[in-house]
Amino acid sequence: MSVYICPVCGKPLVREENTMRCENRHSYDISAKGYVNLLGPGKSVRGDDADMVAARRRFLNSGNYDALRNGICEVLKKIEFETLLDAGCGEGYYTKRICDEFEKAEIYGLDISKTAAEKASSLCKTAHICVASAYRMPYSEHSFDCVLNVFSPLAADEYKRVLKKDGHLVMAAPLPEHLAELKQAVYDSVNVKEMKDTKIQGFKLVSEDSTVYRMRLETQLLKDLFTMTPYYHKTSYEDKAKLDGIGMLDVTAAFMIFDYIRI
Ligand SMILES: C[S@@+](CC[C@H](N)C(=O)[O-])C[C@H]1O[C@@H](n2cnc3c(N)ncnc32)[C@H](O)[C@@H]1O
Ligand SMILES: [Zn+2]
């Protein structure tokens, strides 16, 4: 039984060579890179652009978020799963590690950005990667034992639909002090936001863990880190340029990793 469903009619998609087809003959080609675009007709592709994806890849490859990646794997080790979806997988930094550590599991990744999906499918050869919106996922009901969300939009209703009963939602989210020094370097005044309510309707929180540490970053990594945040597109050219001559800066990384069960 195929996990994928057609974004037009909702019928199961079956793979025939390099195409996925439903019984109504809607078809979707699997790209040479290995991902399939299931965004559906008339849906424009948004999400992270090529600059953001490249900046994230450089930053993540510097190892400064390895503690988060290790923390996520530790949480996943406590969960029994055969199928996992990385929702908003970006270019597959976390997806790849999960494929390597949990070899027996079927790993899926979804992102609305075509550039990100392309990179993820090149990096994670054994994962099933598609371009789609997290708010309208091309998977049948109760397909996954676990959904992972790392800094991506939270589509709780869809997670609930595609998760099996008692399936897990593992979510990484920033704490209020995350990247405080970077924001202070860019903006004249910074509002420290309170941590959002951790309740998610339809889910029960079973564990939460915080990781806080300092990263010593030079100019290029500071710029890459800023470029991969949601602030990037909302910040003026003048404010962004403040990072150009900044040199070295110690920046706080502060994350929470939550483990929820679908109820
Ligand atoms: C902050 S990035 C995190 C990427 C990856 N999880 C990581 O931590 O490296 C957020 C990702 O969510 C994707 N995204 C944004 N809106 C989305 C949506 N509606 N559906 C699916 N993905 C979305 C972006 O393209 C981007 O790759
Ligand atoms: Zn169809």
Tell me what the mean pLDDT of segment 81-86 comes to.
98
Question: Other C-beta atoms within 10 Å of 25: how many?
Answer: 8
**Ligand 1: which residues within 6 Å by Cβ?**
47-48, 56, 88-90, 93, 111-113, 116, 133-135, 150-153
Please tell me the chain's helix, strand, coil percentages from 3-state DSSP, rounded to the nearest 5: 30, 30, 40
Residue 196 confidence class, pLDDT cut points 50, 70, 90: confident
Q: Are residues 22 and 89 in the same domain?
A: no
- The ligand whose atoms approach the alpha carbon of 8 most closely is 2
Cα–Cα distance, 66 to 162 (Å, whole number): 28
Is there a contact between 182 and 251 (Cβ–Cβ < 8 Å)?
yes
Is there a contact between 95 and 76 (Cβ–Cβ < 8 Å)?
no
Residue nearest to atom 9 of ligand 1 (CA): 90
Q: Are residues 63 and 133 in the same domain?
A: yes
Tell me what the mean pLDDT of segment 246-253 comes to.
94
What one-letter code names the amino acid at 166? D
Q: What is the pLDDT of residue 47?
A: 75
In a domain, 213, yes or no: yes
Tokens coding 43 = 């849906």
Q: Are residues 21 and 143 in the same domain?
A: no
Q: Are residues 115 and 234 in the same domain?
A: yes
In a domain, 237, yes or no: yes
Residue nearest to atom 7 of ligand 1 (CA): 90
Ligand 1 centroid – CA 135 distance (Å): 12
Residue labelled with tokens 């008339």: 42
State how beta strands 163-174 and 144-150 pair.
parallel
Residue labelled with tokens 């979707």: 28
Residue 44 confidence class, pLDDT cut points 50, 70, 90: low
Tens of pLDDT along 197-216? 889 999 999 999 999 999 99
Q: Are residues 234 and 156 in the same domain?
A: yes
